[in-house]
Structure 1
Amino acid sequence: MRPDVLIRTLTDDRRVLAGWAIGATLAGCMYAAFYPQLAGGQMAEAVAAYPQAMRQALRLDDLSSPAGYLGSSVFGLILPLIAMFYGAATGARTLAGDEEAGRLDLVLAHPVSRTGLVVQRFAALTAGAVVIAVAVWAGMLTIRGAAQLREISVGEFAAQCATLALLATVFGAVAIGIGAATGRRGLVFTVTAAVGILSYALHAFAGQLGLDAGKYLSPFYYYIGAEPLRHGMPWGHAAVLAVAALLLTAAGTVVFNRRDLNT
């Protein structure tokens, strides 16, 4: 299978991808740079006044350490939400965007099967997630000294950024599957974003709701639950995210192959 669709997709989306990468990096670095000012003092006192359940849900129990601060704010909230929306937006364009615009028949008129189209578009989405993760990693290393984050090693930053890419890929696969079934871009983005927000809430508040086992259903648990910023690459959790993305994409491919695109 020639990678023509993959190359064309990456070429067409290069400006959009650059925007995602730059935006994620700037947002992450900006909040990370506040660590020396926010890690202690009034911030710590204010957080101490929060209910224990809220501190646990939002990972606010350890703002004094670099890993604790970044794990609660930058990599605990800001960047995973950006990754989720990247996956939702990019996955929505993968099939549903072309179908709504009336271009899908033209694309499939080329020597590419429906399966090949999904596989190559998923590969392009994954490549974009990797680009974003590498940009964030490079940004964190750039400010690591000035922001007093040297306690976190280069490898630990790389591990957290790798799981960030996998998280984006999972939500991209969700969007691809919904797009394969519906062909409606707006619906795909809305449903994928809703799934992402609900899964984040499940991960954060499962314990408080008495649903401890529910966190295992959330991709956010496998993204940050093993605390890569402290312990390095969580290979088991990363494998779960990778397998989930592949299975979701495979399911979407089956639906896409069976659906009558003329209806």
Structure 2
Amino acid sequence: MPNVMTKTLWDSRRSLAGFAVGTALVGTMYAGFYSQVSDGAMGEAVEGFSPALREALNMEDIASAAGYLGSSVFGIIVPLIAVIYGIATGTRAIAGDEEAGYLDLLLAHPVSRTRLLLHRCAALAIGAFVLAALVLLAMLAIRSSAQLTTVSVGQFAAQCAALALLSTVFGAVAIAIGAATGSRAAALAGSATVGVLAYAASTFATQIGAGGLRYVSPFHYYIGNEPLRNGFQWADLGILAAAIAVLVLIAGTVFNRRDLTS
């Protein structure tokens, strides 16, 4: 194919559409519950949580729109689906094709390994931003009816931009592991393990006296400085983008050095 990136996006169009629409619908459904929370319907239940748990789950201020969205919609549900999309896409990018026998056929054409990898990474990033854009449009569509107007359009956009980069980070982890091993199972298991550990480090590190660990977690740079309250956190977005660049560089290095005939 003259353009691997567009071919990859075309081949994955149904998967991307399903993830994007599903993420937007689930996020919209949970965001719509805010009016009940703001009226105190869930206040008593949350008060029953320990202070440490409320802090870990970012539920100290669920009465505000930014606090509620940051603890539930953008704190757990939406990033979980976005990370699954990134890992699933990254797992297929190199390792999936190699196990299916398609990689040899593709590389028999005048397509270098580096070009293939970069185009697959670009398709991953574009898909992640499409998913995040649909989530943004869904949030803006219900912003008034769900009483979320205290969160500005710019603040929603800031959080969704971070969401796209978060998804791309874990997709790049899967691509790097797949490029190094050629195993779809290894890419899936490895990136999922990294995701679980990263979430635990961001959420519970402070509670176990290891607060410094949260700074190695992409989730901290995704939501730690509360884009839903403070808007674009350019330093955090830059760190996520730098992490993606490093992962792509690692993936390219190991992919070009590995013997694909063994």
- Tell me which interval the TM-score lies in, with the shorter structure as reference length: over 0.9
CA contact (8 A) 1:199 1:220 kept: yes
Over 6 Å off, 4+ runs:
none
Instruction: Evaluate the alpha carbon distance shift between residue 211 and residue 3 of structure 1 in structure 2; reply closer, same or farther with a 3 A threshold.
Output: farther
Asked if 1:62 is matched to 2:64, the reply is: no
Task: Give the corresponding residue for 2:249.
Answer: 250
Asked if 1:9 is matched to 2:5, the reply is: no
RMSD across aligned positions (CA): 1.0
Bigger mean CA deviation after superposition, 184-193 or 133-142: 184-193
CA contact (8 A) 1:3 1:120 kept: no
Task: Give the corresponding residue for 2:75.
Answer: 76
Asked if 1:118 is matched to 2:117, the reply is: yes
Please give the alpha-carbon distance, in whole angstroms, between the structure 1 residues aligned to 2:192 and 2:48: 31
Bigger mean CA deviation after superposition, 63-72 or 33-42: 33-42
Q: Could you say what secondary structure the match of 2:63 adopts?
A: coil
CA contact (8 A) 2:114 2:252 kept: yes
Please give the alpha-carbon distance, in whole angstroms, between the structure 2 residues aligned to 1:154 and 1:110: 45
| Cα deviation, residue 3, structure 1 | 6.0
Task: Give the corresponding residue for 1:43.
Answer: 42
Bigger mean CA deviation after superposition, 211-220 or 36-45: 36-45
Task: Give the corresponding residue for 1:144.
Answer: 143
Deviations 1:209-231 (A, max 9, x none): 11111100000000001100001
Deviations 1:104-151 (A, max 9, x none): 010111111100000000000000001000000000000001100000
Please give the alpha-carbon distance, in whole angstroms, between the structure 1 residues aligned to 2:186 and 2:217: 21
CA contact (8 A) 1:88 1:175 kept: yes
Task: Give the corresponding residue for 1:238.
Answer: 237
Unpaired segments of 5 or more residues in structure 2? none
Q: Could you say what secondary structure the match of 2:206 adopts?
A: coil
Please give the alpha-carbon distance, in whole angstroms, between the structure 2 residues aligned to 1:3 and 1:193: 33
Task: Give the corresponding residue for 1:220.
Answer: 219
| Cα deviation, residue 38, structure 1 | 2.3
Task: Give the corresponding residue for 2:85.
Answer: 86
| Cα deviation, residue 189, structure 1 | 1.2
CA contact (8 A) 2:129 2:164 kept: yes
Unpaired segments of 5 or more residues in structure 1? none
Instruction: Evaluate the alpha carbon distance shift between residue 60 and residue 93 of structure 1 in structure 2; reply closer, same or farther with a 3 A threshold.
Output: same
CA contact (8 A) 2:40 2:63 kept: no
Please give the alpha-carbon distance, in whole angstroms, between the structure 2 residues aligned to 1:217 and 1:40: 37
Compute the TM-score of the two structures, normalised by the length of structure 1: 0.98
CA contact (8 A) 1:40 1:63 kept: no
Please give the alpha-carbon distance, in whole angstroms, between the structure 1 residues aligned to 2:59 and 2:168: 27
Q: Count residues with an aligned counterpart.
A: 262
